[in-house]
Chain A
Amino acid sequence: MRWYIGRRLLQVIPVFLGATLLLYALVFLRPGDPVAALGGERGLPEAVQEQIRERYNLDKPFLVQYLLFLKGVFTLDFGVDFRGREIVDVIAGAFPVTIQLAVMALIIEAVFGIGLGLVAGLRKGGIFDGSVLVISLLVIAVPTFVIGFVLQFLLGVKAGLFPVTVGRDPNFESLLLPAIVLAAASFAYVLRLTRTSVAENLSADYVRTARARGLTRSRVTGRHVLRNSLIPVVTFLGGDLGGLMAGAIVTEGIFNINGVGGTLYQAITRGENVTVVSLTTVLVIVYILANLLVDLLYAALDPRIRYA
């Protein structure tokens, strides 16, 4: 087990370096000069441009720039953005609400996805199964942003059940509808995965043997069918945390939440490359860590992995 964790941790290093380098290259190697574009139509005086270039290491070779950036990541010193704000502060301001939103969405999709998926899987081929499956297909087919403002319009504007926008002061209540919207697509995937997994496990040999030794149906379902079916589902859920945070860009836009998505979007439109790279790097780190966590959780759920 110790070696399994060790090996897994070692694998994270090249992935982290590769992914950040990739993003960094994409943002900074693009044609055009962001500094020259800073002052609008007229442009900044040459001397000021030079100063900015020096300050952001833009005068140095690309790889050096990247390494300096990495150093910044590890020392939590991302520098300041073009408007003079500490990027660490920007990150600290943006992430909490997005994390809260993503975690709420994760809980929603896990609870409803697993719950409905379990029932559908146990009654595969029945009416409940059929209708749940159709709903899940519809939820996947309709894009998040459509679900987003349709629900916003129907439940928020028309019915008045939820706050229409979140704004400056996010709380549990105002984040609930956005979390449901964010969770929708993943919920359908969790449901379908649980359903298949449960149906597959139901006909596993060890389930029959468990029944043969006289266990009641509920115990067989809980201890053998569900327990084993959760292994792939948990893997999906863990990997999805990062996806939810990235996907929150759309949801945050609809509900006017000042999270990572909004900040990133603004930074992109303003051409603040340092901010874009810093935010995406943190997102990638979250994504990689979530996947690492999944692997460790996987080992905890499946004893066979521990000794592999």
Chain B
Amino acid sequence: MTTQIPLTGQEPETQGAAPRATDQPLLEIRDLEVAFSTGAGEVKAVRGANLTVYPGQSVAIVGESGSGKSTTAHAIIDLLPGTGKVTGGSIMFDGRELVGVGRKTMEDLRGREIGLVPQDPMSNLNPVWRIGTQVEEALKANGFQGTKAERRERVAGLLAEAGLKDTERRARQYPHEFSGGMRQRSLIAIGLAARPKLLIADEPTSALDVTVQRQILDHLETLTSELGTAVLFITHDLGLAAERAEHLVVMFKGRVVESGPARQILTSPQHPYTQRLVASAPSLSARRIEEAREAGVESVELLAQHADADVEKVRSEDAVVVAKNLTKIFKIRGSRPGASTDFKAVDDVSFTLGRGRTLALVGESGSGKSTAANMVLGLLEPTSGSVEFDGVDVARLSAKEQFAFRRRVQPVFQNPYGSLDPMMSIFRSIEEPLRLHKVGSAKEREARVRELLDMVALPESAMRRYPNELSGGQRQRIAIARALALKPELIVLDEAVSALDVLVQAQILELLGDLQRDLGLSYLFITHDLAVVRQIADTVVVMQDGRVVEHASTDEVFEHPKEQYTQDLLAAIPGRDLDLGLVPPAV
């Protein structure tokens, strides 16, 4: 796939599977303690972590947000944010102690010995410098000797190596002219520019579309194994970790709760936290269902609630939402006057959602799934085509009818930080729809709020709190409670669980399932994550570039995907090829 460029200057001594080094750890972290000093005293972010990486090996730290996984990684190269400080333990790298070394030593080490591929490609490249310049910096800072022309050639080579095409031109462009995937490739080029022995990959692809994610991880893997670079992955995705690393370190609240060979952790997790994590990871549960079906096991537990959903059958039965040839065209203002272009965000999309069912609209960014959802919500008017809710065209409602329609259809959005008004108490947030629609007396409304909080498994005491005091998962529960307040028939869940940690995500999905069963709700579930779909949806509509690619029952999509794009999406679910060994192979 790529041609390796000969290394100039000093070649790292330990390369690839050089036999001498394999028994000597490259990185050895012992009893690491990291603390942040805040106004209220010291907060320990990492407590007694142990970790070992051998040359050329891939190791992954797995954990949820706040587990201390990124902090551990940043401690290695002394790039802890703010007031963070290593307060104890040791970090041995290639036989040298890194804790407490001077700034100069660390500057020499960074880039040359230890590279970093950071998390968010959007914010990690300086917007005011050209891509080429930023790669070149990495060369110059790490002792690359050569003329300007040689440097430029090398930069182009590195970018090509990271999988970018037309590198001469690309090097002269600015970060904002790159897509997310291209930026991440540039960051990989920067991280590997000086041929470090260890590459720290901090959630290198979590901000990217799944199919791009897959490509980049594959590429990174080929590249590092060619170069013999050891990789320390930091990730929240157990499936991804197990697929990419041979050794896993599971962290929880600053501690290592379990570590060991990837397969062993996955198949027989010992610590209760790891067990929960393994049980909840959507990528793994999707795989679990798969394995179960392959083995012919039709266990109720594994297959959750989704019954046999036949697309044809849903069409004939009681339909809540019927979208017919839905099309939405946006005018994009060009860089010059009169240069506006039409952009078809949604192109001839049709689907039917049966009462009490869940339909998932799946697609990557720019697929038009959210635009379609907004048309169902009646927030956007379709350019052509129609959305019928309970037999009535949503776009043709009178003001009064529309107000009534709003009671019956409610949304829950992705961002748990943006979906609640930070100025309003939880009580007022949930009560607002009731008050707006003049439901009940003040007393009755309060009783209803209590009831709703109970429904989403939150204590009544949460009523007096404010959104900033709650976690992401709790806010999402509040958002669900608010959506339920008016007893709607349809809930549009726009990436409603995508921003949540794995365990919380599993909880919310479970809650949604229970609510659907108890209240007979219909869900329109918008997501980019096919793995989650397997657990919740009856029917799947796969969208790409505004069009419907595939429309079938969930089982059919997962087992017999007809279209190449669907197959690509499925292949992109991390851990899909893992042998979980939960079910004995089919005889």
Distance, CA A184 to CA B137, complexed state (A):
38
Taking a contact as CB atoms under 8 Å apart, the answer to whether B116 and A212 are in contact is yes
- Contact A209–B190 (Cβ < 8 Å): yes
Q: Which residues of A contact B138 (CB under 8 A)?
A: 213-214
Give the residues in chain B near A307, CB-CB below 8 Å: 176-177, 335
B308 contacts partner chain A, Cβ-Cβ < 8 Å: no
| Distance A60 CA – B384 CA, assembled complex (angstroms) | 58
In the bound complex, do residue B137 and residue A223 qualify as a contact, i.e. CB atoms below 8 Å apart?
Answer: yes
Which residues of A, 200-236, contact B by the 8 Å Cβ criterion? 203-217, 219, 223-224, 227-228, 231
Q: Is residue A304 within 8 Å, beta carbon to beta carbon, of the partner chain?
A: yes
Min CB–CB distance A196 → chain B (angstroms): 16
Partner of A228, one of B82, B128, B336: B128
Within 8 A of A (CB), among B96-111: 103, 107-111
The verdict on A206 contacting B79 (CB below 8 Å), with A213-B141, A217-B107, A223-B137 known, is no
B27 CB–A CB distance under 8 Å: no
Which of A216, A301, A308 neighbours the largest number of chain B CB atoms within 10 Å of its CB?
A216
A3 at the interface (CB under 8 A from B): yes
Whole-angstrom distance between the alpha carbons of A20 and B361 in the complex?
Answer: 56
Interface flag for B471 (CB, 8 Å): no
Give min CB distance, B119 to chain A, whole Å: 8
Cβ of A61 within 8 Å of any chain B Cβ, yes or no, is: no
Contacts of A219 in B (CB 8 A): 137, 141
Which B495-540 residues have C-beta < 8 A from chain A? none
> A211 touching B126 by the CB < 8 A rule?
no
**Interface status of A303 (Cβ within 8 A of chain B):** yes
Contacting pair B116 A213 (CB below 8 A): yes
On chain A, the number of residues with a Cβ less than 8 Å from chain B's Cβ atoms is: 32
Check B118–A213 contact: CB distance below 8 A: no
B109–chain A nearest beta-carbon distance, Å: 8
| Assembly CA distance A227 to B190 (angstroms) | 20
Write out, one digit per residue, whether chain A residues 1-16 have a CB within 8 A of any chain B CB (1) or not (0). 0111011000000000
B129 at the interface (CB under 8 A from A): yes
Which chain B residues border A224 with CB–CB below 8 Å?
126
Contact A209 B124 (CB under 8 A): yes
- Report yes or no: B128 in contact with A227, Cβ–Cβ below 8 A: yes
B234 within 8 Å of A by Cβ? Answer: no
Residues of A with C-beta under 8 A to B336: 2-3, 6
Least CB distance, B221 to chain A, in whole angstroms: 21
Q: Is A33 an interface residue (CB 8 A)?
A: no
**B126 adjacent to A303 (CB under 8 Å):** no
For chain B, what secondary structure do more than half of its interface residues adopt (helix, strand, loop), or is it mixed?
loop
B193 interfacial by beta-carbon distance below 8 Å = yes
Interchain CB contact under 8 A, A214 and B141: yes
Whether B116 pairs with A210 at a CB distance below 8 angstroms is: no
Q: Name the distance in Å between B375's Cβ and chain A's nearest Cβ.
A: 28
Of chain B, the residue at the smallest CB distance from A224 is: B126
Contact indicator per residue, chain B 121-132, by CB within 8 Å of chain A (1) or not (0): 001111111000
Determine the chain B residues whose CB is within 8 A of the CB of A303 once the complex forms: 127-128, 174, 176
**Chain B nearest CB, measured from A202 CB (Å):** 10
A139 CB to nearest chain B CB (Å): 29
> What is the distance, in angstroms, from B439's C-beta to the closest C-beta of chain A?
46
CB < 8 Å neighbour of B110 from A207, A213, A223, A301 = A213
Residues in A with CB closer than 8 Å to B137 are 210, 213, 215, 219, 223
Cβ of A302 under 8 Å from chain B: yes
Do A208 and B141 have beta carbons less than 8 Å apart?
no
Across the interface, do A211 and B79 meet the contact criterion of CB distance under 8 Å? yes
Q: A212, A223, A302 — which one has the most chain B CB atoms within 10 A of its CB?
A: A212
Asked if B191 is at the interface (CB within 8 A of a chain A CB), the reply is yes
Check A212–B77 contact: CB distance below 8 A.
yes
A216/B176 in contact, CB under 8 A: no
Complex CA gap A214/B196 in Å reads 11
Q: How far is the CA of A3 from the CA of B339 in the complex (A)?
A: 11
Determine which residue in A2, A4, A210 has the highest number of CB atoms from chain B within 10 A of its CB, and name it. Answer: A210
Binary CB contact string for chain B from 68 to 86 against chain A (1 if under 8 A, 0 otherwise)? 0000000001010110000
Is B450 an interface residue when CB atoms closer than 8 A count as contact? Answer: no
The distance in angstroms between the C-alpha atoms of A224 and B125, with both chains bound, is: 10
Q: Is the interface of A mostly helix, strand, loop or mixed?
A: helix
On chain B, the residues within 8 Å of A308 by CB distance are 335
Q: Which residues of A contact B115 (CB under 8 A)?
A: 212-213
Query: B91 CB to closest chain A CB, in angstroms?
Result: 16
Cβ-defined contact, A228 with B116, below 8 A? no
In the bound complex, do residue A208 and residue B193 qualify as a contact, i.e. CB atoms below 8 Å apart? no
Pair A206/B141 contact, Cβ less than 8 Å: no
Q: Which residues of the other chain, A, contact B77 by a CB distance below 8 angstroms?
A: 212
Q: Interface code B190-201, partner A: CB below 8 Å = 1, 0 otherwise? A: 110110000000
Q: Which residues in window 254-308 of A have CB below 8 A to B?
A: 301-304, 307-308
B23 to chain A, nearest CB (A): 28
Tell me which residues across on chain A come within 8 A of B82, comparing CB atoms. Answer: 203
Residues of chain B within 8 A (CB-CB) of A209 are 116, 118, 124-125, 187, 190
In the complex, the answer to whether B103 meets A217 with C-beta atoms within 8 Å is yes
Q: Is the CB of B193 within 8 A of A213?
A: yes
Q: Which chain A positions have C-beta within 8 A of B126?
A: 206-207, 210, 224, 227-228
Residues of B within 8 A of A214 (CB): 107-112, 138, 141-142, 194
Question: B337 at the A/B interface (Cβ < 8 Å)?
Answer: yes
Output the least CB separation between B159 and chain A (Å): 15
A302 CA / B126 CA spacing, docked (Å):
10
CB of B141 within 8 A of CB of A216, answer yes
Chain A positions within 8 Å of B243 at CB level: none
> Interface code B217-242, partner A: CB below 8 Å = 1, 0 otherwise?
00000000000000000000000000
A304/B127 in contact, CB under 8 A:
yes
Q: Are A206 and B125 in contact (CB under 8 A)?
A: yes
Within 8 A of A (CB), among B323-379: 335-337
Question: Given the complex, which residues of B lie within 8 Å of A3, measured CB to CB?
Answer: 335-337
A204 nearest CB across to chain B (Å): 7
Tell me the minimal C-beta distance from A201 to chain B in angstroms: 10
A231 to B128, CA, bound (A): 10
Q: A3-B335, A223-B129, A227-B128 are in contact. Are A216 and B118 (CB under 8 A)?
A: no
Q: Within the complex, what minimum Cβ distance (angstroms) separates B230 from chain A?
A: 16
CB of A208 within 8 A of CB of B110, answer: no
Residues of chain B within 8 A (CB-CB) of A205 are 118, 120, 123-124
- Could you say which of A209, A211, A215, A307 has the most chain B C-beta atoms within 10 Å of its C-beta? A209
Pick from B108, B118, B128: contact of A208, CB under 8 Å: B118
Q: Output the nearest chain B residue to A230 by Cβ-Cβ distance.
A: B128
CB distance from B562 to the nearest CB of A (A): 40
Cross-chain contact A304 with B176 (CB below 8 angstroms): yes
State the CA gap A304–B127 with chains docked (Å).
7
Q: What 5 pairs between A and B have smallest CB-CB spacing?
A: A214-B111, A212-B116, A205-B123, A213-B138, A3-B336
Q: List 16 A-B contacts (CB under 8 A).
A: A2-B336, A3-B337, A4-B335, A203-B82, A205-B120, A206-B123, A208-B81, A209-B125, A210-B126, A212-B118, A214-B108, A217-B103, A219-B137, A224-B126, A303-B176, A307-B176
Q: A209-B124, A213-B110 are in contact. List 10 more A-B contacts (CB 8 A).
A: A205-B123, A209-B187, A211-B107, A213-B191, A214-B109, A214-B112, A227-B129, A231-B128, A302-B128, A308-B335
Which A residues are within 8 Å of any B CB, using their own CB? Answer: 2-4, 6-7, 203-217, 219, 223-224, 227-228, 231, 301-304, 307-308
